Amino acid sequence: MLAEFSEGLDPRAVARVRALDAALAVDPPVGLTETVPGLRSLLLLHDPLLLSARRLRTLLERLETLPEITPDAAEWLIPVCYEAEFAIDLAEIAARTGFTTAQVVARHVAAAYTAFAVGSFPGLPYLGGLDPALEMPRRVPPRVVVPAGSVAIALTMSNIYPQATPGGWNILGRTPVPIFDAAWDRPSLLSPGDVVRHRAVSGAEYDALAAGFADGSRDPRQECRA
């Protein structure tokens, strides 16, 4: 069953999706096997022999009339290197927006982002809150491979690529922080509703951080909590 809250991207819909997901987690009905929050909807997987569609719909309608639960949200400070080696599309973004590359970076760093959803690829966060002056269309055609850790923008959002995957977003820089690890208790560093800020780092600091995360001397779940 799919509970939809808007026809387009709407921060209020994102909040309602999270609230409903949190309400179901408090006292999940027998037969509800999984919930999958999206940008504007909540997918509910259920065993119809234990929980009929009619009963589930009635439950959802009742929960909608109750005061919303506001789930706790973590805050993160994610380092990003915006140097030319990693900022594949920065010069083009600057040319299209009329800013200098330094101004583009400053605007990207200044924003506070909210994870509207996490998914598509494992751990991929869709981060709302991009400065409207930096809104850019997706690239056509998309790249066959975008390096893991790439920080990119498209339309009204920013994101971070957890793995090397195809992608059509405009790449501003790269973070050394692993944001998905299947060995973690919670494989995704970020969860829907989390607040993300960035700080610009030099290439030397990027290398030092990357080495620490790779050898286990640094834990991103501790290192990057704001």
User: Does residue 177 share a domain with residue 85?
Assistant: yes
Domain ranges, residue 177: 75-223
pLDDT of residue 120: 86
Claim to verify: residue 128 and residue 47 sit in the same structural domain? no
Residue 70 falls inside a structural domain: no
Residues 98-142 pLDDT 10s: 999 999 999 999 999 999 989 888 999 999 999 999 999 999 999
91 shares its domain with 200 = yes
Q: Is 164 helix (H, G, I), strand (E, B) or coil?
A: coil
Q: Which of 65, 97, 118 lies at the terminal end of a domain, its last residue?
A: 65
**Residue spans of alpha helices (H) in the chain:** 11-26, 53-65, 90-97, 101-110, 203-215, 220-223
Q: What's the pLDDT band for 38 if we cut at 50, 70, 90?
A: confident
Tell me the whole-structure pTM to 2 decimals: 0.85
**Does 39 lie in the same domain as 135?**
no
Distances in Å between the Cα of 137 and the Cα atoms of 49, 84, 150 are: 45, 21, 17
Looking at the structure, tell me whether residues 200 and 92 fall in a common domain. yes
